[in-house]
Amino acid sequence: MITKSDLAESVVELAQLDYHIRSGPRKKTIERKLREEGFEPAFDKDGNLCYMKGEGEPRTMFTSHYDNYVSDVSKFHAEIIEYEGATGIRGYLDNAVGVAENMELIKRVKPRGTRCNIFTNEEENYRGCSPKYGIEKVCDELEFMGFIPDLAIALDVDTYKNSHTNNAVVYAENFSSKILAKMMEEFFSEKNFHSIKVINEKSKDEAIPLGERYAAFSLCPAIEGEMHGLNIVNVNSLKASTQALEAILNSPEFIKKAANEDKKARK
Ligand SMILES: [Zn+2]
């Protein structure tokens, strides 16, 4: 049976919107939807959106790129489907998933300390041909304003590493240090997030440039299919991922401790 959820509906809507740098429908929709619920994101001339809330410590950062590897997503119809006994979303999901999760955090999770949610427009576009990701530019600007996160998490998707399962699977990967990977593994285990697999390897996403500056990693619901084409995500993977993010946000002491240990390891 298909179970509908706001988060899944949000992914479906975002997946079908072209991003076009700076002013495209995807960026406008993120902005409009946040405004409708009373949140006012700031933006720069490159189309990166940033929403900062709360005060004091810990300082957390959640990033999600809204650009696509292909510019025309109209050929990838997105929909909620029944998927091997589970509810899934099929569409071009990199990175409608991360964007929807990031919006969910803004709308539903009260910040403890200072939280910054960022939507970037050039993770895919300038990868490999520019020394800077959009995220690095945004980090430079935030640091200039005095905001240095204790922990930064990139919200993205990744393909199944081993065999596919119809259970929820979320990868925590691209850690800035081994000690952070270990601490997060213990954290997820203690809080009973059994669908989250901590992977000690590096692929390419915004956690890489983030990890050069801060304690950072990426949280990626597993997708099946083509990374840059049609793929499917289990809705339970999305839910597990956002619940884990909420659990992290609700553990300010753990964040500070993880940030300190990671800093020592990166020195
Ligand atoms: Zn991505």
Give 176-200 pLDDT, tens digit per residue.
999 999 999 999 999 999 999 999 8
Query: Quick check: is 1 in a domain?
Result: no
Find the CATH number of the domain harbouring 190.
3.40.630.10
Q: What pLDDT is recorded for position 129? A: 47
Range of the structural domain that residue 221 is part of:
6-266
Q: Which of 24-28, 122-126, 260-264 has the lowest mean pLDDT?
A: 122-126
DSSP per-residue string spanning 103-159: HHHHHH---SSEEEEEEES-TTTSTTTSS--HHHHHHHHHHHTT---SEEEEE--EE
Q: Rounded to the nearest whole angstrom, what is the distance from the C-alpha of residue 159 to the centroid of ligand 1?
A: 11
pTM of the model: 0.95
Q: Rounded to the nearest whole angstrom, what is the distance from the C-alpha of residue 56 to the centroid of ligand 1?
A: 30
% of the chain residues with pLDDT over 70: 94
Q: Rounded to the nearest whole angstrom, what is the distance from the C-alpha of residue 215 to the centroid of ligand 1?
A: 20
Give dist(CA 193, CA 185) in Å, integer.
10
Give 150-163 pLDDT, tens digit per residue.
999 999 999 999 88
How many domains does the chain fold into?
Answer: 1
